């Protein structure tokens, strides 16, 4: 089982990079929309896998890797949550996406992840 996790993560990263399709490549400048990220968190965004359990695992790995990447890039700049577990980040992002107006889900997922983390884990004002 421990050998499958690195393979799933590698598959997820590759799928994120290649799996969004080229039909909208000229229209969009992002990898995931908010709607796609929400589907991925729910385990429903891995059409490349035919086995339902593998599809769910790849989908969840995609969403976790994506959220972790945005979180690492923006930590201590847009949000402050040192020591927050990765599954909690995903939970807060999912809650934000569920509560967001449907028209915002067509936007780039990265900006929605940033907003979710900033509202869930705001930084303390700097003391002079």
Which domains, and CATH codes, for the chain?
A: 4-120 (1.10.890.40)
Predicted confidence (pLDDT) per residue in 21-54, tens digit: 444 455 778 889 999 999 999 999 999 999 999 9
- The pLDDT of residue 8: 56
Tokens describing residue 108: 């780039």
| 79 phi and psi angles, rounded to 5 deg | -150, 155
* Measured distance CA(49)–CA(59) in Å, rounded: 9
- The pLDDT of residue 57: 96
Annotate 97-108 with b (16+ C-beta within 10 A) or e (fewer): beebeeeebebb
Contact call for residues 65 and 104 (beta carbons, < 8 A): no
């Amino acid at each position: 089982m421990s050998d499958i996790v690195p393979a799933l993560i590698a598959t997820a990263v590759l799928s994120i990079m290649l799996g969004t399709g080229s039909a909208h490549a000229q229209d969009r400048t992002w990898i995931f929309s908010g709607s796609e990220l929400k589907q991925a968190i729910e385990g429903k965004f891995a059409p490349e896998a035919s086995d339902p359990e593998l599809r769910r695992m790849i989908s969840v790995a995609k969403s976790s890797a994506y959220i972790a990447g945005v979180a690492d890039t923006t930590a201590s700049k847009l949000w402050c949550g040192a020591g927050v577990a990765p599954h909690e980040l995903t939970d807060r992002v999912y809650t934000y996406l569920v509560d967001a107006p449907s028209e915002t889900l067509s936007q780039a997922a990265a900006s929605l992840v940033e907003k979710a983390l900033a509202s869930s884990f705001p930084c303390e004002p700097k003391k002079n």
